[in-house]
Structure 1
């Protein structure tokens, strides 16, 4: 009986320590390879500028395997330049966003996790058309951001993540493949 109680105490302390290791505040940054293939028909794209993101949030551990994260995020969605096919005018697009994300994670062991990302972002969209003169337009829009990702915790404080995200706008979809690091306090 004594051995059973000692064994159960050791298991309980190990499991609660693993759950506690997934709790906490974090900051992160990521590089984003942007894909504008679905955006703005009738424009021949000549250059795509990639983006980045920075975020801060908190992970809430529910047991040993499930974590629910909530974060604030700033994203530079890069941009693109191109020319209209008819007539031959140049076009430039730059986008940024600020939003709130919810990220449910499922851990497999103490290091690997798979997660989903759902967020509501407000976008700032700057467009410029150059003909014989320069015409600029700035606009803002709100949209959902969706994504799936994989993560690996190198230490209790440092982790790496890779995510594929999609933003649906009125003009089309923007996809991005992201690779980033996160520091947990």
Structure 2
């Protein structure tokens, strides 16, 4: 082996070690910055809400919107607006991050022939999602939710009374605002959607409500 070849081979482990050391250093710096950021956010949030692990329960009421394609691709789509509501229960790990499970009841959709209602469909969804809050100003913070939902729809023909049902798992997400009335009571204004599919419909809920800490 020529000396130059030996030097090149010897360099490779050194170069790899340098790259690995630099990558580790960058990762440590990024992790430290992230920890600092979370600590700063936590300190801001803790001035007006609980910054400790706790359970909570809540309820919302508002306007639901449904986009339903009952014949799956037929073009016979239905858009319905009406009252809707939800109940939730969750666990807050700290003032920023949590996990939530909830049930949402949406307004029934209707299929018509002319002015005659030929079928009605009941819609609801159950969701499991991660939640996060970010302070904006004073006691107001941004609220985000991301997870999965099980959507259910049951259609009943008006004339025959024959019922058909369908269920689907899909994405669940929500965005809103959280105002801390007291450290244990939050006022929530949010938009949340269970995406569903062509059979269950895509279901939205614009709502306001309260979350109460159990601590």
TM over 0.5: yes
- Bigger drift between 119-128 and 154-163 goes to 119-128
Are 1:71 and 2:100 counterparts? Answer: yes
SS in structure 2 of the partner of residue 21 of structure 1? coil
Structure with the larger strand share: 1
Are 1:159 and 2:186 counterparts? Answer: yes
Gaps of 5+ in 1: 1-14
Runs of at least 4 residues off by over 4 Å: none
Are 1:108 and 2:112 counterparts? Answer: no
Specify whether residues 108 and 44 from structure 1 end up closer, same or farther in structure 2 by C-alpha distance, changes over 3 A only: closer
Q: TM-score, normalised by structure 2?
A: 0.66
1:43 deviates by 5.7
| Paired positions, count | 165
Q: TM-score, normalised by structure 1?
A: 0.76
Structure with the larger helix share: 2
Are 1:42 and 2:76 counterparts? Answer: yes
Gaps of 5+ in 2: 1-42, 70-74
Number of the residue aligned with 1:57: 90
| Pairing partner for 1:26 from 35, 46, 56 | 56
- Bigger drift between 173-182 and 103-112 goes to 103-112
Does the 8 Å CA contact 2:98/2:132 hold for their aligned counterparts? yes
Q: Counterparts of 1:53 and 1:175 in 2: how far apart (Å)?
A: 11
Does the 8 Å CA contact 1:18/1:110 hold for their aligned counterparts? no
